[in-house]
Structure 1
């Protein structure tokens, strides 16, 4: 049998989706776009579905075909074609859900990240033992090697916070997440100390929503928001009961942005947040 075709990366799928949006704004069908561009309709459809790669020059040519004059967007889309080598996260594709692979790729390419969590410490800020305790709580319970795959993957994801020129990272954490002792008091205390230590990094901001806050603008779902090189290329992942739902529609992204803004406004400033974490750690 011939080797199977690799699944398109989240980056290639997003590029295709944005090219489709440009075509639709130009009020062109895929057939009409193909005629103008001098290719088959199936070629246009496959590019938009992320099944075919496309060069930076072709992206610029398609943008001209679609009468797009936003040069910042065009160049940001062209830059999405540059990578040929797949990321380190691909080695986990057979062991982990596709949504986790997509999440990792979004983190890797984000120019800035903003997350909100109510029950758990955000994944990029977790210790290995805390993450292990979280994964063991899954229903149905995972086998030991599945837990270790997930812990290994989560720890590797955290490298983006320590690389050269790391992206700014803002974590909005509800006090409930600080007080639930996943893994027991020893693990929880070490996790809180890790938050205190890592909050000293220049690229990191931790803001805590205290129990005493009179506002809680969220239904309790976690949000991971990924800023792109231009606002049109932002993305978000919403935690659900079974998986993470990835969104890139403008209206949904605006709503996520508003929710995060309101959650951050309900949070303590970084220094009082750090003091509260320290207080909870001492009492643990």
Structure 2
């Protein structure tokens, strides 16, 4: 089995990480696991880092060796194996940070997406003009070509919402994000109208947290939660000052599910949220 010549995708890294978790739960070393398979510690480590392809049969063999009885998880891991074709995002590898490609891959494979933002509209629901102003305001300042690359990439990511079987999206947005205008009034109005239009789609739920409700956890940090084919394969993405953090430890998943549930409890119902967005839009027309 030859090592892959390309950097492992986020999905390959996650598969390897899950295999490592299964092994570590048995207190078995990589050296011992390699010996049981007639291999060595280096080969096991490379598999767990996503640098070597792993077959579905090998995943099932690992699960048996590690005494994993969760058949749904085993099947889900087996479905992540093989030399799967690279997605559309790979064509951007030379122009965009790898973490953005990871984000697109996560969205593409997610069974559902939950997002929460406090001061801006979620990327999956942004208009092109709003996204452009958002990237132009970033620090460090991006060059015009870099801004265009990121805007185009963000808009293309939104394709999951328009597919024949669109990905369900729940977007929790604080009222502050509706009122902190980006760009000129026309850009702000168009963005809010787009938000209303998207909220009327069956698979999209937009919930607004009004001013005066709280206290809010996480200090306003944007949260993206991607549902996996089984809950153990969920992933949390956090936007930070130093870039994107991807979290998939069980404790993190439990924590951020609770945070999002808290946010949903604070938010207005869909119809009332839509009415609030309409009200803010009308205030911009005065």
- Give the TM-score normalised by the residue count of structure 1: 0.96
CA distance in 2 between counterparts of 1:111 and 1:38 reads 37
CA distance in 2 between counterparts of 1:166 and 1:235 reads 19
- Pairing of 1:88-167 with structure 2 (within 5 A): 88-167=88-167
Deviations 1:139-171 (CA, angstroms, capped at 9, x unpaired): 222111001000110010000011122121100
The question of whether the paired residues in 2 share the 8 Å contact of 1:37 and 1:65 is answered with no
The question of whether the paired residues in 1 share the 8 Å contact of 2:171 and 2:206 is answered with yes
* Partner in structure 2 of residue 47 of structure 1: 47
In the alignment of these two chains, the number of paired residues is: 281
Q: 1:214 to 1:33 in 2, by over 3 A?
A: closer
CA distance in 2 between counterparts of 1:278 and 1:65 reads 57
Matched, 1:245 2:212: no
- Pairing of 1:1-284 with structure 2 (within 5 A): 5-82=5-82, 84-284=84-284
Q: CA deviation at 1:57?
A: 1.1
Q: CA deviation at 1:127?
A: 0.3
Q: CA deviation at 1:5?
A: 2.6
Name stretches of at least 5 consecutive residues in structure 1 with no aligned partner.
Answer: none
CA distance in 1 between counterparts of 2:82 and 2:128 reads 33
Q: CA deviation at 1:6?
A: 1.3
Q: CA deviation at 1:41?
A: 1.8
- What stretches of structure 1 move > 6 A for 4+ residues in a row? none
Deviations 1:58-102 (CA, angstroms, capped at 9, x unpaired): 111111111111100000000011452111111112211221111
SS at match of 1:116: strand
SS at match of 2:255: helix
SS at match of 1:139: coil
Q: CA RMSD in A?
A: 1.2
The question of whether the paired residues in 1 share the 8 Å contact of 2:53 and 2:82 is answered with no
- Give the TM-score normalised by the residue count of structure 2: 0.96
Name stretches of at least 5 consecutive residues in structure 2 with no aligned partner.
Answer: none
